Amino acid sequence: MGGRQYIEAMRSALRSLWSQRPGLCPVCGLWCPGWTCGACLQRFAPPTARCLRCACRWGAGICPDCRQHPPALSACHAALDYSYPWDGLIARWKFHGELGLNSAWHGLLRDLPLALDDIEAILPIPLSTGRLAERGYNQAWELAKGLLHGDHRHKGLPQALVRLAEVPDQHRLSAAERRVNLRGVFGVHPETAARVHNARLLLVDDVMTTGATLSEAATTLLNAGARSVSAVVLARTPPA
């Protein structure tokens, strides 16, 4: 390991230790009784009305886009907007291994009206094998673990949805191009096909931009016989 890499690794370890200390808000760094302080939540994550099907900002009910083109997802929830300060925290968590933030994210996800009693299995959006080996963890599964408590603790199906191909970077693609880019990228693992068939499933992902990834995953699961597929994401990209 070179000197610069070593310093970066130490920095990341220290940041991780810091963010694992219970009682410190990850946004302002001040003591708080929960995992994120009320003042920061009120300032940066005020209650936001979202479309029930795609979680875009929308007054109430279903947005005009979803009414015109009903999405594969039966419902979609988002805890946050993908904007300051959450975008920076999510990048540290996702790319620099600051898994101490899991607790804050779990708290936010558990506050959403996910109706988990009606859900039979919870599935993370998978990473490709290469990306998983590089990062060491699938951030979507780290999020999903926060929902596996009480009566729901056996509902996790981390291996059911598999990524069959690596997708080139989607950042510069339009929504329509992303859909084409993702076609056929997911499959259902044969060993878990029986748990997917006729089941009500919840997909979990970290950030939703156009929704193309979740839509393709939901379509794959519906084609494999799922009864319904809903989704929850930590953060939704707000309109430009």
User: Could you list the residues that contact Zn ion (CB under 5 A)?
Assistant: 25, 27-28, 37, 40, 51, 53-54, 63, 66
In the complex, minimum distance from the CB of residue 220 to Zn ion, in angstroms, rounded to a whole number? 21
Looking at the Cβ atoms of 5 and 68, the one nearer to Zn ion is 68
In the complex, minimum distance from the CB of residue 41 to Zn ion, in angstroms, rounded to a whole number? 8
Looking at the Cβ atoms of 30 and 164, the one nearer to Zn ion is 30
Looking at the Cβ atoms of 51 and 217, the one nearer to Zn ion is 51
Looking at the Cβ atoms of 2 and 64, the one nearer to Zn ion is 64
Question: Letter for the amino acid at 179?
Answer: R
Question: Letter for the amino acid at 173?
Answer: L
Are 127 and 163 spatial neighbours (Cβ–Cβ below 8 Å)? yes
Token pair recorded at residue 224: 């494999």
Looking at the Cβ atoms of 188 and 202, the one nearer to Zn ion is 202
In the complex, minimum distance from the CB of residue 21 to Zn ion, in angstroms, rounded to a whole number? 13
Are 45 and 86 spatial neighbours (Cβ–Cβ below 8 Å)? yes
Cα 223 from Cα 232, distance rounded (Å): 20
In the complex, minimum distance from the CB of residue 101 to Zn ion, in angstroms, rounded to a whole number? 13
Residue 213 parent element (H or E): helix 212-223
* Strand intervals (E) in the chain: 76-81, 121-124, 161-163, 186-188, 200-208, 228-236
In the complex, minimum distance from the CB of residue 55 to Zn ion, in angstroms, rounded to a whole number? 7
Cα 143 from Cα 57, distance rounded (Å): 22
